[in-house]
Amino acid sequence: MKKGVDYPGVAIVYICHDGQGNFLMQKRGENCRDERGRWDIGGGALEIGDGVIETLKKEVREEYGAEVKEYEFLEYRDARREHDGENLHWIALNFKVLIDPKEVKNGEPHKFDEIGWFTLGDLPSPLHSQLEGCIEKYAEGL
C-alpha cells in the first residue's frame, strides 16, 4: 500500500525563515516525485515510530544542513490533489521554523536544483501547486 494514495499520509511541512522576513525555498529537481522545476518549502513524510518534532528537526537538517533554533506549529492542512491520474491525500502538519542562514546548504542536491532566500513580496516562479494556498493562509503569521 502506498502512503497518500491508498491511505492518507502525514507530512511534516515547514517554512524556514531567518527572523528578518526572508524565507528559504527549494527548486524541485528531476529526481523529485512530482512538480519538477517548481519552487517549494520543506517537508517530509512522518514514518512509523518517529515523532513529529523529531521528524521536523531531521528533515530540516537533511534538506538544509541547519539546526532548528525555534519552531511554531501553525496548524494542520488537509491536502488533496490529483497527480498523474491518482488522487493524493495528505494531512500536512505545518510549522514555521527559525534557522541560522549561515548554516544553510543544499543538503539534497540530487533532489533540489537550487535553494534560495525570498520575501513574501518577491516569491520565485513557478510555485508548487499546494504552496500558494499555504502562503496565503499563513501570511499574517509569517
pLDDT tens digits, 52-70: 999 999 999 999 999 999 9
110 phi and psi angles, rounded to 5 deg: -75, -20
Q: What is the spatial distance between Cα 32 and Cα 16, in angstroms, rounded to a whole number? A: 20
Q: Could you give the percent of the chain with pLDDT greater than 90?
A: 72
pTM for the predicted model, two decimal places:
0.91
CATH class label, 9-141: alpha beta
The residues spanned by each domain of the chain are 9-141
- pLDDT tens-digit readout, 77-103: 898 888 788 888 999 999 999 999 999
